[in-house]
Structure 1
């Protein structure tokens, strides 16, 4: 599981990242010392940037720059679904849940979207948010509905198993025009998604078989993540209620 957030970077850190991204287009295997030299900064500054973005180490960040499968956090073999889910649960990172809850709490309007089976996840999340929060929550069935719903107080969650069925670039541009924040929640890593959102939540390093088409892949991981988010919200609500009773 990994959470990539470019909004956390300072202007200088964004400049460093953009410099390395451009440099990687013409040069192979940038070392961390080379990265520091190119940007006239210290190695520790590069390491801090990598951690701030959400990567475990520099090697993982470089793989991301080159659009490669992130070898340290991606498994090339396949498991049956029960084995895969067990491994996903064993690796589950609750900090991603807490960050997601914090995002939800910081917006008054939550819009949810996805194509095909992923839209069913969006609808389920809408139902759960409606009964556990006071925010406006709505699953949008298409791009026109999204445009009619979003504004500067909105947060758009996009669910996608692979990110390969259709591009979200037009949706992202539309949202930026309305000052709406976009978070993509994906099961499989896909570097092309980074340019289509403000924040990217990548859930699982254990892939489903490639012979399955996007609509044929399970959404089990999404539902587990949704339930953990909802349980965290319920827990926070109970704590708030208890604190009020003590006052």
Structure 2
């Protein structure tokens, strides 16, 4: 039991540089949320649904993390910070990392039956803060979901999903093989040269500004043309009168 706990805490420390010791990790709300969920899930499997919900509600009040007792969670699951919601039929594999304010939500079935309505998250997936993963979809192994992305379709293994609605951006093999990518968003090009994401955005923004300026210049020149023609006509009339 202690070896399992030690291994779990070490797996968190490998993904989070903030804690200075295993004891500090024991204060993480995500650790406590997973602990309470193990109890609630055991009660849920035993069909003691009220007691399972009671543990769930206590856990939510203490940790600000809501994990339905019916959700299935693998080994070394790490919720960083909290404010996360995980639905009843969600299935989470091993070594999955979720940052704050993530929802693994469900869809309302049209046939009136519960069934599978929440996502399946496979091994070694990283989900960035604020991401919304909705419906009975699958996020493939080593998939990455960027911050605030909205995912409503299956994610291929090794793909990185960004934006609203999220789109797939396949990452290079060397990125895919990495054990852990913080926040689920790599910022390196295919040659391995590190490129700052902010610099990329600034470059795109400057290009857009240049295009807008060029369009304004063209519009300004078009507006001056009629004025010039009117001036030439007035000058011709004046010469005729003389």
State the TM-score, normalizing by the size of structure 1: 0.23
Greater helix content: 1
Higher relative contact order (CA 8 A, sep 6+): 1
Decide which structure has the larger Cα Rg and report it.
Answer: 2
